[in-house]
Amino acid sequence: MMDEAKLREKLSRIEALFAGATTEGERVAAAEARRRIQQRLASVERLDPPMEFQFTLADAWSRKLFLSLLRRYDLKPYRYRGQRRTTVMVKVPKPFVHETLWPEFQQINAAMRAYLDEVTDRIIADVIHGDSSEASEVAAPPQLGPRAIDIDE
């Protein structure tokens, strides 16, 4: 079972991984990792100008996480008037998206989702009912054929 402290530690390790940390001290120092990623973004921007990306994140938890990750790296998320709330636009260099931003988001999102699923299951089992499994699958009821049967015959 993962508790909040373990989740925080795991998220720090993920960030350190994408920052290219090499020592244990660097892996623990999330602030240093963030600085390295921001430096990488700045160097990529000099070689590859930012371009507009559109992301669609239907899950509210994933969208909040993604928006926070963008803001952590001083990126400015937006959406155009008329776009759905699920749409997130951002101008960022393509290599940064493919090599850092999206892979880091996917790993953090998976860790967060696992934690939220675990907490949800535990609370439902403790407060509502111990069995929160999916509904069982049964055979469909028989359907009438192409013509109706007349009972009076």
87, β-bridge pairs: 56
Q: Which among 54, 11, 50 has a CA at the least distance from the CA of 34?
A: 11
The pLDDT of residue 26: 53
Predicted confidence (pLDDT) per residue in 114-149, tens digit:
988 988 888 888 888 888 889 999 998 887 766 656
| Residue showing tokens 């669609």 | 56
pTM beyond 0.85: the answer is no
| Residue showing tokens 């992301």 | 55
The pLDDT of residue 10: 72
Residue with more model confidence, 126 or 17: 126
Q: 89: burial class by Cβ within 10 Å (0-12, 13-18, 19+)?
A: middle
Residue with more model confidence, 64 or 13: 64
